[in-house]
DNA sequence: AGATTTCTCTTCCTTAAAGAAGAGATTATG
DNA sequence: CATAATCTCTTCTTTAAGGAAGAGAAATCT
């Protein structure tokens, strides 16, 4: 499982892994009646924290009309909350509410399975994995920014 | 970076990582004018290999009409190819075409950045990571199946 | 062989999400 | 202090994707 030959299809393994993650995310969202854009916004909020409808819409590639309605949907479904901005009364802050309950629930089986996998590693191995998670997350976040900058 | 305290927010790190991966996948697809369903189908094909429109549509949660049109879109965009099934002339096999060029291109910056990160690990550490990728992919794939089974 | 089922595709209709334009409120600017 | 700019939201229209129903070809069953 770690011979030089097997390292050759590292790319394939990695693509397969990414596909599985994406597939699962999508399937979970669909099971919660969450559209693609709504899921995108939730991921954005999870990753970057609370932001105004303006920037949220811009980063999701939406004009203001759809942005308002998307936030309406997310708020009604309990994923998000609108708070007036303290320093500018025109603005609104959209913040994710803890963990989206419904989504969390749907993802539980996968999380437990992954947890099982992770518990099979030694502390040193876990250090490697979480080091990777941290750095890869930042790399992907950065890549999204760049994509958004040069369309 | 590996103290017991930091292990406490393992969940947060992992969620953040998943969000970043999803976000990047979505953003890349959008940059290629790929809708959510089309991306889902591509991931499915990447993960499970060629399949008929029937099963593809079923696994994507579509009826036959939208399925045909989705495959039309993917085929026209060069992501997929239709081949007549050799053993049943009613059937069609939908197979992904190598790596989707356009999508591949858009994802290049992230891939290179992740490659850079991976090259920073020792062979033993890479073994751990790829072992994880392999097992997690299977876990997610299984979870999607289960989601699909019990809606 | 004839009837039935299976599979894909086509056509028409419905629905959900996105764009455009502008109103109302608030802040910044000259 | 008045004008302009900013921010969110509303309304109306457009577009893209999905559902329903059925046709045509081919396999399966009796």
The tens-digit pLDDT sequence of chain A (151 residues) is 545 556 659 999 999 999 999 999 999 999 999 999 999 999 999 999 999 999 999 999 999 999 999 999 999 999 999 999 999 999 999 999 987 788 889 999 999 999 999 999 999 999 999 999 999 999 999 999 999 876 5
In chain A, which residues have their Cβ closer than 8 Å to the Cβ of B147? 24, 27-28, 31, 106, 109
Q: Label residue B151 by pLDDT band (50, 70, 90).
A: low
- Kindly report, residue by residue over B18-40, the tens digit of the pLDDT: 999 999 999 999 999 999 999 99
Contacts of residue A139 in chain B, CB cutoff 8 Å?
110, 113-114, 117
- Tokens read off for A142: 């950065």
Closest residue to B46, CB basis, from A7, A19, A127: A19
CATH architecture, domain defined by B4-120: Orthogonal Bundle (1.10)
CB atoms within 10 A of CB B79: 24
Of A117, A135, A138, the CB nearest to B135: A117
Which residue in the set A10, A15, A46 is minimally distant from B19, CB to CB?
A: A46
Q: What is the mean pLDDT of residues B7-23?
A: 91
Condensed to tens digits (0 to 9), the pLDDT of residues B92-131 reads 999 999 777 888 899 999 999 999 999 999 999 999 999 9
Q: Which nucleotides of D are covered by protein (CB under 7 A)?
A: 6-12, 16-22, 24-28
How much is the pLDDT for A151?
55
pLDDT of residue A140: 98
Q: How many Å apart are B134 CA and C8 C1'?
A: 35
Sort out which chain A residues have CB atoms less than 8 A from B128's CB and list them.
121, 125, 128-129
Residue A68 burial (C-beta neighbours within 10 Å; 0-12, 13-18, 19+): middle
A110 in reach of chain B (CB within 8 A)? yes
What phi and psi, each to the nearest 5 degrees, are found at residue A8?
-65, -40
Higher pLDDT among residues B88 and A3, named by residue: B88
Predicted confidence band of residue B45 (pLDDT cuts 50, 70, 90): very high
Q: How far is the CA of A118 from the C1' of D19 (A)?
A: 42
Q: Please check whether strand D approaches the CB of A92 to within 7 Å.
A: yes
What is residue B79's predicted lDDT score, i.e. its pLDDT?
Answer: 95
Query: What is the number of CB-based contacts under 8 A between chain A and chain B?
Result: 203
Helix intervals (H) in A2-63? 4-8, 10-31, 36-48, 53-60
Residues of A in contact with B112 (CB under 8 A): none
Please tell me which residue lies nearest to nucleotide C10, judged from CA to C1': B65
Q: Does domain A33-98 have CATH number 3.60.21.10?
A: no
């Amino acid at each position: 499982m770690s011979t030089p030959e097997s390292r050759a299809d590292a790319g394939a393994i990695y693509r397969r892994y990414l596909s599985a993650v994406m597939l699962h995310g999508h399937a979970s969202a669909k099971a919660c009646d969450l559209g693609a854009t709504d899921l995108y916004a939730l991921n954005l909020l999870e990753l970057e924290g609370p932001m105004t409808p303006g920037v949220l819409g811009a980063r999701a590639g939406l004009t203001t009309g759809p942005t308002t309605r998307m936030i309406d949907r997310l708020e009604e479904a309990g994923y998000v909350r609108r708070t007036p901005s303290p320093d500018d009364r025109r603005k609104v802050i959209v913040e994710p509410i803890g963990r989206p309950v419904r989504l969390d629930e749907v993802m539980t089986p996968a999380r437990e399975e992954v947890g099982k996998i992770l518990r099979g590693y030694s502390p040193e191995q876990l250090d490697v994995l979480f080091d990777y998670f941290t750095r890869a997350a930042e790399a992907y976040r950065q890549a999204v920014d760049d994509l958004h900058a040069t369309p």
